């Protein structure tokens, strides 16, 4: 194949569905790829599964996304790649088969790629925690999930075996987009120059509308037309690893050097060494050229040999957060909020709140920059006071809401208090990382047919 059209279908679990439908219907795509997993997604899914055995373990929006894009993809012959399988790729594949049959699509092959979950083995594999250097064994009792980042190879293999749809668990975001390039262009797993280029393009696509003007606009400095009508990006890829980043004509947003550069460097600590399971990407050699309105040509992204290890994301139970808010408005709002903070700090001492961390933030004043907030910041007209405490037990976390309830009649004048309809204590999932030898993680492909 000389050219390949790959479109994005989502950038995270909660992403919009309409742009994916638009790409399926008007993008003239060979492949539509969905990325739906942030680092905490798997851990949150494991927690929900423990609470609710009926939870199927895959993306809660799987039905909505597939129902939106299947008509367009089936009509065009677009193949789908998605990591919506979360902790149950096989269950997701079986559900997709049901949806295919509802659309009258018989004989379609759906491949489930699993093997990334290594929760039962992570303590034995040893290693250290990347964030603090402590041994993994030190948090073994708190680990509820451990999932290695798989690469593009098992997806490419499923495509080679004729998969119309590939559904996976944890796979590195760029790998979802690299896999069809490897398959269609015949790129070898050790051709790191090509894989670097393909993974770099995958990185440009993985965050969806961020490269087409989403998460970009700063009115008066960086303006975006019709930002309510953003399309997800499409890459027109050539066999040498160069591509044009584009979008469906007539949609809002923008594709230019600024949007592409911002996404290229997004979450990249070292542009010369962006580590993925497939290759180490080098963005420092990249060349960008405007190829027309909302069309950017990307060339010369480099690649280096892949690492001997795979990254593992570990979700751990780390207690509970108690949280609530109340409000002040009008002249003197900041003074009243400051007195309220003092009152709460003293009352937490009276009730012996056992908190590993306590924050009382004034939204609109210091909640983002904290102690770095300028002392001469303008006096706000209204303030929301957010109180949050991290505790080891739910009972301790619930003390936060109880004391804030008291502010309604035992606090500062003109305190605005919400009626507490919601649960104000929630479990905390801490996310830690480690490395494991690549050969210790074995992907598995399971087949289903509609």
Residue 254 in domain:
yes
Report the C-alpha gap between 84 and 43 in whole angstroms: 14
Going by pLDDT thresholds of 50, 70 and 90, the confidence category of residue 211 is very high
CATH number for the domain including 330?
3.30.70
**Is a pLDDT exceeding 90 seen at residue 337?**
yes
Is pLDDT above 90 for 367? no
The proportion of the chain whose per-residue pLDDT surpasses 90, expressed as a percent, equals 86
Average pLDDT, the chain: 94
pTM of the model: 0.92
Same domain, 234 and 355: no
For 159-189, b/e burial (b = at least 16 CB within 10 A) is beeebbbbbbbbbbbbbbbbbbbbbbbebee
Q: How far apart are CA 250 and CA 301, in angstroms?
A: 29
Is residue 139 a part of any domain in this protein?
no
Query: Of 252, 274, 307, which residue constitutes the final position of a domain?
Result: 307
376 is a domain residue: yes
Same domain, 202 and 323: no
- Picking from 307, 324, 348, the residue at the C-terminal end of a domain is 307
Nearest of 178, 165, 43 to residue 92 by alpha carbon: 165
| Nearest one of 151, 183, 165, 193 to 78, comparing CA atoms | 165
User: Does position 173 have pLDDT exceeding 80, yes or no?
Assistant: yes
pLDDT at 364: 86
pLDDT at position 1, please?
66
**Does residue 315 surpass a pLDDT of 80?**
yes
pLDDT for the residue 368 = 79
- For residues 33 and 90, membership in a common domain is answered with yes
Tell me the backbone φ, ψ of residue 205, rounded to 5 degrees: -90, -25
List the structure tokens of 236: 């027109």
* 174-192: pLDDT as tens digits: 999 999 999 999 999 999 9
pLDDT of 43 higher than 80:
no
Owning domain of residue 206: 4-115+150-307
What is the number of structural domains in the chain? Answer: 2
| pLDDT score, position 423 | 84
Quick check: is 140 in a domain? Answer: no
What local confidence, expressed as pLDDT, does residue 83 receive?
A: 97
Distance of alpha carbon 115 from alpha carbon 45, whole angstroms: 16
Long-range contacts of 183-187 (CB under 8 A, 24+ apart): 183/156, 183/159, 184/1, 184/4, 184/30, 185/1, 185/4, 185/239
Could you read off the pLDDT of 108-130 as tens digits, one per residue?
999 999 999 999 999 989 789 99
228-237 residue pLDDT tens: 999 999 999 9
Length, in residues, of the chain: 450
Residues 303 and 323 placed together within one structural domain of the fold: no
Q: Is residue 163 part of a domain?
A: yes
Tell me the average pLDDT across 70-93: 97
Closest CA to 387 of 353, 431, 430, 429: 353
* Same-domain status, 224 and 104: yes
pLDDT at 42 over 80: no
Domain presence at residue 121: no
Does any domain span residue 381? yes
Q: What is the mean pLDDT of residues 57-73?
A: 97
Same domain, 245 and 394: no
Q: Write down the pLDDT at residue 38.
A: 78
Q: Do residues 222 and 349 share a domain?
A: no
User: What per-residue confidence (pLDDT) applies to 126?
Assistant: 74
Residue 382 neighbours by CB distance under 10 Å: 14
Q: Express each pLDDT in 78-87 by its tens digit.
A: 999 999 999 9
Q: Are residues 296 and 326 in the same domain?
A: no
Tell me the average pLDDT across 146-164: 97
According to the model, what pLDDT value does residue 421 have?
A: 67
In a shared domain, residues 421 and 273: no
Q: Do 303 and 166 fall into the same domain?
A: yes
My answer on whether 287 and 347 are in the same domain is no
Q: Which residues of 193-212 are buried (b: 16+ CB within 10 A; e: fewer)?
A: bbbbbbbbbbbbbbbbbbbb
The answer to whether 65 touches 8, Cβ cutoff 8 Å, is: no
Residue % of the chain over a pLDDT of 70: 99
Residue 378: the pLDDT is 82
126 lies in some domain: no
Q: How confident is the model at residue 373 (pLDDT cuts 50, 70, 90)?
A: confident
Model pLDDT for residues 243-299, shown as the tens digit of each residue: 999 999 999 999 999 999 999 999 999 999 999 999 999 999 999 999 999 999 999
CB 273 within 8 A of CB 48: no
pLDDT at 410 over 70: yes
Copy the structure tokens of residue 170: 């944890």
The mean per-residue pLDDT over the stretch 7-24 comes to 97
């Amino acid at each position: 194949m000389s050219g390949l059209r790959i479109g994005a279908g989502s950038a995270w679990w909660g992403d919009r569905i309409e742009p994916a439908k638009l790409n399926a219907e008007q993008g003239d795509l060979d492949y539509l790829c969905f990325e739906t997993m942030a680092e905490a997604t798997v851990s949150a899914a494991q927690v929900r599964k423990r609470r609710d055995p009926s939870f199927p373990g895959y993306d809660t929006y799987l039905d909505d996304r597939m129902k939106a894009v299947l008509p367009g993809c089936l009509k065009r012959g677009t193949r789908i790649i998605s990591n919506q399988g979360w902790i149950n790729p096989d269950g997701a594949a079986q559900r997709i088969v049901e949806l295919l049959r509802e659309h009258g699509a018989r004989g379609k092959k759906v491949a489930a790629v699993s093997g990334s979950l290594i929760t039962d083995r992570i303590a034995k594999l040893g290693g250290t925690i990347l964030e603090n250097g402590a041994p993994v064994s030190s948090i073994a009792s708190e680990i509820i999930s451990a999932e290695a980042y798989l690469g593009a190879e098992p997806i490419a293999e499923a495509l080679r075996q004729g998969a119309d749809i590939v559904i996976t668990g944890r796979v590195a975001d760029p790998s979802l987009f690299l896999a069809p390039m490897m398959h269609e262009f015949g790129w070898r797993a050790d051709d790191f120059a090509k894989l670097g280029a393909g993974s770099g393009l995958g990185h440009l696509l993985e965050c969806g509308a961020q490269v087409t003007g989403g998460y970009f606009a700063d009115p008066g400095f960086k303006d975006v037309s019709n930002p309510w009508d953003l399309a997800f990006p499409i890459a027109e890829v050539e066999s040498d690893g160069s591509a044009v980043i584009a979008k469906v004509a007539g949609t809002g947003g923008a594709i230019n050097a600024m949007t592409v550069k911002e996404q290229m460097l997004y979450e990249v600590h070292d542009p010369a060494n962006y580590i993925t399971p497939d290759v180490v990407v080098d963005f420092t050699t990249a060349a960008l050229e405007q190829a027309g309105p909302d069309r950017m040509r990307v060339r010369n992204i480099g690649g280096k040999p892949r690492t001997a290890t795979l990254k593992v994301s570990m979700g751990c139970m780390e207690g509970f957060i108690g949280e609530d808010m109340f409000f002040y408005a009008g002249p003197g709002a900041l003074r009243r909020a400051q007195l309220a903070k003092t009152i709460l700090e003293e009352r937490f001492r009276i009730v012996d709140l056992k908190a590993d961390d306590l924050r009382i933030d004034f939204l609109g004043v210091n909640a983002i920059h904290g102690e770095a907030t300028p002392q001469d910041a303008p006096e706000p007209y209204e303030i929301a006071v957010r109180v949050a405490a991290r505790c080891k037990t739910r009972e301790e976390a619930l003390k936060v809401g109880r004391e804030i309830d008291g502010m309604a009649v035992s606090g500062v004048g003109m305190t605005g208090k919400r009626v507490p309809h919601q649960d104000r204590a929630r479990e905390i999932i801490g996310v830690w990382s480690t490395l494991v030898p690549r050969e210790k993680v074995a992907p598995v492909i399971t087949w289903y047919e509609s």
